[in-house]
Chains A and B, each alone.
Chain A
């Protein structure tokens, strides 16, 4: 438990070390990065073992930082943050395994990557709104460079779009936070203090603050209609970066909504609840439909991410213990599954075929050339469409159970989103990997285009992620036992009760 902050420090230290090691050789940087990420993951798992689930944030570090403004370096964790930290550890490790082939400026790549991870860990562990904001910004900057330097087609545009969206969102969010800070007397940024003060805010103020903070965070969670950064960003980013982007960075937004906006301004939540829910539903269906007609393999996955994040936002909007627990579970689940999907598309397929267009992929007998990738994609696709046995099923199920309690109509629309998800996933599977018949392509063509075989790093990463999703799919208790007690804290209860219409 007390070791958790080391995830942050280790990542930053590893980042510096990777930069130094990268000057010698790419392999050194790679190993430094892998060991750092693994260390982070191991630390989080050890911390999880000592963790006693309970309501409220359990403080780990609390030091004064800027006394004049009452800002404290306050790190704390509860079951929700722990879930996200474990997810980050898994996704980061897998991401490094899937970027094993980076040769160009490897040191810098892994340094930026680990810096991003460090920032993400920081956000998940912050209990002070200002510290959270700082880590949040730290996480945004490396994203820009990762995409703009190592990205593919259209990368400058995508990187710029992503960063502008992120910064616009965080500016709005900061505005809301400062408003609340000022209204609370300007003495403290601690989430608990802000929440205590927020009880006395007028209804109008709460509604305004909630809107600024929630929508500011929701931009990064890919909420419709602020989602367009996500597909372009995912598509242009290098594999590891899209894995992180979909795997953990989008979660930052949703986490912010849950950790900051909802408990602080329950009255605001009650006011905005229907709007958020309908936007989330629109996102689920709309992004699903868009994914159905994409020609670019990565765009299909990018839009599916938006669709799945719609479920998270819907779970938050439904605002009861079940739906919110489901939303957190879905954050975990989507982090793993989206990572796996991007790994297949970006690393296993694109790095070998050098095309992402479904039309081109269709012409290759990929299931024979890359059987491992085909198998992985089928597994990931099934997980993504919510097949029982994978983590997506209990997650979406709990969200729907919870949402039904708040509004059956929302559940109805959201459930049809699962249908759309099945449609676009099956289309992607069939067109990409099983598009060509065995007979129409002569055997010589298969031999003449030998792709580099799947490496051990890719296999290791795949096994890690598949195990992570199957384990939670069979035993959702492992995470829900952390998440549900956390939701019993007075802060969350105020929001969840205030949230029921």
Chain B
């Protein structure tokens, strides 16, 4: 069966359709929502296999199908699909793991009132994640990237009535968006520098020789090649999404979401998107390797951050008590490994580890989910204990996952992929520090996983919840078994003796000789980790939940610091958070009092002028007029007294006047 690249969009479109169906299904339609989601995912899995068949015909080819999204002036914004072995393998992994997790979720979530909404969000996530994988355009990748972030936000905050979940959702979204800011800027820069965002476009794409040459030859601030600067900006986005130091703080908190979500999004797929992004733009990231004199190589930064993260995650995981938190920090650490592999130049090793990690970490999370489900939502390993009896399948599969993660030699997939990374790190000619960081992390990983298993599954039940634990239904255990099988077998695709995966991903790959000594070292280290873990936690098993941790008893300060995750959250709250609050408050006060005050002052000034003119008008201008009329009135009053109303008096006056008149005429008659 083949799937040509033109129809590649069907892979994400199917889950998207399922998300639409889920959104329109009423709450009671659990079967419809789950059926649509699982059916769409199953079909997408089949299509992905078809795509893999197509891609394997010529592993070196990049099959593309591009189209114009919109015209913008003289340039056009173009999107497209890309099919190569990387895409196809990732698609198969995501759809397969996703399918199993969806099936598991029908059991895990079947009592939740918002079952349909959950499956709608899951489908949305799957669609967006597959969109990232098939994108042949940095823009389409960014779009899907944002949608993945949105789905992650919705799913972490799925139980939003828990304040911790709501806060964790917001934290995850904002923290990853900080990284995305770098991604966005890198994308803008790339678009400006090359005029395109397509990866492969018949010689004009940004990952093809002509564009890369142009990017490497230009330099920018600090003498960096433009490609280095863009690569570092893109890495910001990858670091945010993949929980790399210093943006790792959101990932452990994201465990507030339902456990299948943690398994799918925060262990197997989404967090690996950052690794995938760097692998995808690897030609761009490694372009500056050509200039030996460059002040900084993008990949060196990636390696350094990866090494720090790998170590940091492993160290903090040692002192966590929540079963999911331990796994979360282990995810952080393993993602650091992958970044380390990318940084030291072996992107195939990174993808190999990504694939194996996806399976065994999904397995671990689902098994942890099964434990949590069985133990009535008890997640504290101190409260568990003695679960290996009642939960036989869960215990067996969890143990397989644990051994894969710890890197138990030869049988388990994690061993081979980790070996590939350590091998590449050993061969890196810039510095050996990442290699040593990786070795320390190997010991620590084996140690804390042994602690987890010993505490949770051995000994006696330490709380009523774990006493009454019972095995989960088949709908949950069957996916566990399938994942466990994959967690074992997958490693054999990439052993140094038959590096099929490496050759498929990168036809130019050639394995370097001399891995034997290294393999022995790492086997010794794994044995050391497991042995010391068993020595501390396994020989004297915890008797009751409140008993102190053996390490805590020895070095309480260190343990407390690790349990508090080395204070990164507090540090950010005290710096970035405080600064932000301060700025916001300052701006608010500014707006409320200064700008608004200025306006009110102006208005007040206007009112004041108004009052002044009113006073002038009333007292000066009107005053003269009023005084005159007042005078007139009083005069009139005086004279009106002559008006007595006595008619006889008037007549008398008339007569008197007449007499006077007559007299005057008579006396003046001589005139």
Contact = CB atoms under 8 A, between A and B. Distances in A.
A155 to B, nearest CB: 16
A63 B157 CA distance: 61
| Consensus secondary structure, chain A interface | helix
B185 interface: yes
Given A404-B189, A430-B160, A480 B72 contact: yes
Given A405-B192, A411-B185, A437-B162, A321 B584 contact: no
Contacts of A225: 595
A422 interface: yes
A321 B174 contact: no
Nearest to B140: A388
Contacts of B161: 434, 436-439
A134 B144 CA distance: 47
Interface centre among B73, B139, B146, B161 (most CB of A within 10 A): B73
Contact of A161 (B146, B163, B599): B599
Interface stretch (B176-184, B266-274, B338-346): B176-184
Interface string A361-395: 00000000000000000000010000111000110
A430 B150 CA distance: 14
A382 B153 CA distance: 11
Contacts of B153: 426
Interface residues of A, number: 50
B485 interface: no
Given A321-B74, A387-B147, A419-B174, A404 B188 contact: yes
Contacts of A416: 181
Contact of A484 (B72, B143, B603): B72
A85 interface: no
B173 interface: yes
A430 B181 contact: no
A412 B142 CA distance: 17
A325 B583 CA distance: 32
A361 B177 CA distance: 27
A292 interface: yes
Contacts of A411: 185, 188
A290 B166 contact: no
A422 B71 contact: no
B73 A289 contact: no
A440 B109 CA distance: 23
A394 B192 CA distance: 16
A390 B157 CA distance: 22
Interface string A402-440: 001100100110011011001100110010001011110
B170 A321 contact: no
A96 interface: no
A480 B177 contact: no
Contacts, number: 120
Contacts of A388: 142-144, 146-147
Contacts of B588: 289-290, 293-294
Given A322-B72, A393-B143, A434-B160, A292 B584 contact: yes
B173 A422 contact: yes
A416 to B, nearest CB: 6
A227 to B, nearest CB: 8
Given A228-B595, A321-B74, A388-B143, A382 B188 contact: no
A42 interface: no
B54 to A, nearest CB: 28
B587 A289 contact: yes
A321 B161 CA distance: 47
Contacts of B75: 322
A397 B192 CA distance: 13
Given A322-B73, A430-B170, A290 B178 contact: no
Interface in B548-598: 580-581, 583-585, 587-588, 590-591, 595-596
B191 interface: yes
B639 interface: no
Given A405-B192, A419-B178, A293 B585 contact: yes
A286 interface: yes
Contact of B150 (A286, A382, A400): A382
B51 to A, nearest CB: 23
A129 B588 CA distance: 37
A398 interface: yes
A415 B184 contact: yes
B497 interface: no
Given A225-B595, A228-B591, A405-B192, A325 B584 contact: no
A406 to B, nearest CB: 10
A437 B588 CA distance: 29
B69 interface: yes
Interface centre among A161, A389, A422, by most B CB within 10 Å?
A422
A220 to B, nearest CB: 16
12 contacts: A161-B599, A228-B596, A286-B590, A289-B588, A388-B146, A388-B147, A393-B143, A426-B173, A434-B166, A437-B163, A476-B70, A480-B70
Given A401-B72, A426-B173, 13 more contacts: A164-B603, A228-B599, A290-B588, A293-B588, A325-B72, A398-B77, A404-B189, A405-B192, A408-B185, A423-B174, A430-B166, A436-B161, A437-B162
